[in-house]
Amino acid sequence: MKNMLILTYWSYPDALIQTYTLPYVRIIRKIIPEGSSIYLITLEKDVHILEESKKDAIKAQLAQEGIRWLPFAYTPFGIVAFFSWLRISLKLSWIIVRKNISFIHCWCTPAGAIGYFLSLLLNRKLVVDSFEPHAETMVENGTWKRASFAFRLLFWLEKKQADRASYIISATEGMREYAAQKYGLSIDNFFVKPACVDLDLFNEVLNNQQLRQDLGLEKKIVCVYAGKFGGIYLEDEIFDFVKVAADYWGDSFRFLILTNHTHEEIAAYRRSSGLREHQVIMKFVPHQEVPRYMGLADFGLTPVKPIPTKRYCTPIKDGEYWALGLPVVISANISDDSEIIESNNIGVVLKAFDKIAYHHAVIQLEEILKTPDLRGKIRNIAKQYRSFDIAQKVYNQIYSAKQ
């Protein structure tokens, strides 16, 4: 029996749980011995609060799969968060001892920081999944100062996690070199697992004609973006690119945004770029509905800020776009994806953010969209680089071995 604790820093309804955690948890559950239990920890933010009846239904469903969901309240970084985590850690310590937890499996380094202390205190094996720089990313995107306590603490904890972890799972091979350069560590049990995608849910044949008609997208060239603006994502730059595309293709072009931003926020971006109201269509849809809307597009956007540490990330949306057969417009040096897109001619890599670069990108896209069997070609890229078979292989190597 291999009971395990899975630590995350996200709310259960968040896409990062639904698409970036739960599918892998279910894979792990099938690998570990029958009768084992997985305890899934989430941090519920106010914006994602679920009704108690909904929580109970989710817990019952997960319990049938051998997954015990334990939600806790999220507290922003600071002194209050310290005391909150102290209280949570005491509860988790009790669970680890009482339920004979042998593995603490953490998603990303913020959760890994808590996992580090628990594994050290209770002498349990530590697995850090989706290991990538977080502290330096917060500095590069302007959220923290390099001299700040928050940066210095998390950076130190990232090094400690890398040093203690029995296994490190990263999105890119380059993270091994980063750990050597930044932390002075040589990691032995190192695995690479990008953000995989459900190839059945995201299928290249999706193209709902009724939905296309309802949204006024018939005979239109559609650009789609599913996600947020700001933080690690570009803002005005992407709307300026879309404005160039709208000017080039005229009324044949539409921009479809799948986001939880408010209409007022999107309208402000639109007005700043000069886009007309009818050229931008905004929708907020549940994740299960995202493929239906994404499938209406001709190409997708991945507007991650090209800061140095994003070389080690794994954009979830790229796999979803590729599974749908969509070429992608992406910033330079994002994960391995920018190189994959450029070398396979399945999209455009933006190496500058000005009208000349945007115009060149649109012309490139127009040629790419003429490629015979383009969607089938890109779908094969998804199978090669984003199949859940990759995750299955990694977790098999870690959890099917005798411990």
The answer to the question of residue 203 being in a domain is no
236 plus 369 within the same structural domain: yes
- Nearest residue to 65 (alpha-carbon basis) of 20, 33, 14, 30: 30
Same domain, 315 and 213: yes
H helices of 250-329, in order, are 263-273, 290-294, 316-323
The amino acid occupying position 122 is L
Query: Within a domain: residue 87?
Result: yes
98, two tokens:
């009482």
What type of residue sits at position 171? A
Same domain, 116 and 223: no
Whether residue 292 sits in one domain with residue 222: yes
Position 201 in a domain: no
Instruction: For residue 43, give the CATH number of its domain.
Output: 3.40.50.2000
Domain count for the chain, please give it: 2
Question: Residue 384 half-sphere exposure, CB side, CA atoms within 13 Å?
Answer: 12
* Cα 18 from chain centroid (whole Å): 10
Question: 190 — alpha (psi -120 to 50), left (phi > 0) or beta?
Answer: beta
Owning domain of residue 330:
209-386
319 plus 184 within the same structural domain? no
pLDDT tens for the chain, 403 residues long, are 689 999 999 999 888 898 899 999 999 999 999 889 999 999 998 766 788 899 999 999 999 999 999 999 888 767 777 788 888 899 999 999 999 999 999 999 989 999 999 999 999 999 999 999 999 999 998 889 999 988 999 999 999 999 999 999 999 999 999 999 999 999 989 999 999 999 998 986 666 788 888 999 999 999 999 999 998 899 999 999 999 999 999 999 999 999 989 999 999 999 999 999 999 999 998 888 899 999 999 999 999 999 999 999 989 999 999 999 999 999 999 999 999 999 999 999 999 999 999 999 999 999 999 999 999 999 999 999 999 999 999 999 999 865 5
Q: In terms of domains, do 88 and 182 share one?
A: yes
Whether residues 244 and 133 share a domain: the answer is no
Same domain, 340 and 315: yes
20 and 159 belong to one structural domain: yes
CB 9 within 8 A of CB 110: yes
128 found inside a domain: yes
Same domain, 86 and 132: yes
Residue in the structure block whose two tokens are 């649109």 = 362
Q: Are residues 154 and 219 in the same domain?
A: no
Residues 107 and 213 grouped into a single domain: no
Residue 357: CB atoms within 10 A of its CB come to 15
For residue 202, tell me if it sits in a domain.
no
* Residue 269, in any domain of the structure: yes
